[in-house]
Amino acid sequence: MAAGYRELLRCEHAARLLIGTLVGRLPNATAALAVVLFTRAEGGSYALAGALSAVYGVGNAVGQPLLGRAVDHYGQPRVMLPAAVLSALAMVLFAVVGLDPLPVAYAAMLAAGLFTPPLEGGLRALWPGVLGREEWVHAAYALDAVAQEVIFSVGPLLVTALVALWSEAAALLVINGIGVVGALSVVLSPPSRRWRSAPREAHWLGALRSSGLRVLLGTFFFVGVALGSIGVAAVGYADEHGGGMVSSYLLSALGVGALVGGLAYGARPWAGAPERRLRALVAALALGYLPLVLVPGVVAMSALAGLSGLFLAPALACVFVVIDRHAPRGTVTEAFSWLVTTFVVGNSVGTAAAGPVMEYGGVAAGFAVPGAAGAVALAVLLATARFLDGARGVTAGEPQAENDRNRAVEPGFRAGHQA
């Protein structure tokens, strides 16, 4: 398994793009925690910290597909680097001004979220041209999904360390400075500078005119709901089982499960249509959430949490492939960015829903929310199978994104469409 990934990362530019993207995404991965810690240090309430984080999340959800569309139109460096700088400057403003005046703090949070560069979508658009071989592209998507678990685990630890060494404001400044460096590393790479999206049909819906893409977004909205609700339910479980680090045990176990599942999935080639495989993976993911309602002791619950995460990274890796096949021609970065937005919104909805459910039904009811959300995600995928199993990426005359991807790896198109 490890040998296969090493071979993939030996491809020219592959390691640089993956690491640069992960480093560039640090501000987004740590924003919620960093903003809460800074707000509390400035004397603000948890409610205010939550409101500021929510404004950042809304800005992020709106900005990702808009910036993704701009990347498809203008290229990566001309959009991603200015966006990264503007987002970082907004966080610097927040760190310098603090909470007074409050409207400036809210405006800074909105701008920081809105201008977060779509590095995830950009990386996935680059993989076919950088790697060339289809099986390596699929493995890279799996590695990408696993890396998300790593960055969302390491990021908060880095924030905590910076706060302990310096201050909450310093943590904001350092993390966002590191993020700009990561984005700079990506956009200065030859694949990013040379990449051009395929010519696209002018349409106000952009990537959303693909019915297949809309199906995928609807499905993974509910996967996001499941993940958001698990975080809240884990805190409720910890309150009933000794508090302390118990919720961290559950969430860490979920992350470890996703990491193991993603590495195993990407280590071998898969035959058959990825659309059918996606249905199987989402079914397994939904089934994995159901035993959580048993709420056993901490050790057994941690094991169940690990099991529930086992198919998360494989499902994400597979949906990346399916999105690439169904995104209309010339909209691949926007399409991947829409997935990020949908996931973020679903996560927020799940977080908001789990609390009231636990108030009325207890912790077991809180863990029933991810089970129900997983079931709905599977139902959406099954009920709309005809949109994914028909012509790939073709809906009402839409061209196929798969053709774009194949062109990207032909001789003369190694890094996407050359400038």
Q: What are the Cα distances from residue 304, in Å, to 157, 290, 367?
A: 24, 9, 12
Question: Do 283 and 138 lie in a common domain?
Answer: no
Measured CA to CA, the distance from residue 419 to residue 52 in angstroms comes to 41
Residue range of the domain that includes 179: 1-196
Please indicate, yes or no, whether residues 141 and 209 belong to a single structural domain of this protein: no
407 and 261 within one domain: yes
Number of structural domains (the chain) is 2
Structure tokens at 75: 């290229």
Which pLDDT score, from 0 to 100, does residue 178 have?
96
**CA pair distance 298, 302, nearest whole angstrom:** 6
Residues 214 and 169 in one domain: no
Residue 387 sits in a domain whose CATH number is 1.20.1250.20
CA–CA separation, 87 and 364 (whole Å): 40
Enter the tokens of residue 172. Answer: 């904001």
> Looking at residue 2, what is its pLDDT?
58
pLDDT at 150: 80
Task: Give the model's pLDDT for residue 392.
Answer: 52
List all residues 6 or more positions away from 28 whose beta carbon is below 8 Å from its beta carbon: 60, 116, 179
pLDDT at position 398: 40
- Verify that 49 and 136 share a domain, yes or no: yes
Using CB atoms within 10 A of its CB, is residue 55 exposed (0-12), middle (13-18) or buried (19+)? buried
pLDDT digits (tens, 9 = 90+) for 189-209: 999 999 988 776 666 687 899
pLDDT at 3: 56
Can you give the pLDDT at residue 211? 92
Where is the domain boundary, 196, 212, 237? 196
Residues 40 and 159 in one domain: yes
Each residue's pLDDT tens digit, 52-89: 988 998 899 999 999 999 999 999 999 999 999 999 99
Same structural domain for residues 142 and 230? no
Domain identity same for 155 and 208? no
Do residues 324 and 251 share a domain? yes
**Residue 138 is assigned to a structural domain of this protein:** yes
Residue 418 lies in a domain: no
pLDDT at 202: 65
Q: Which of 196, 227, 248 is the last residue of a domain?
A: 196
Question: d(Cα 259, Cα 265) in Å, to the nearest integer?
Answer: 10
Q: Of 158, 173, 196, at which residue does a domain stop? A: 196
Residue ranges of the chain with per-residue pLDDT less than 50: 391, 393-419
Tell me the C-alpha distance between 167 and 190, whole Å. 37
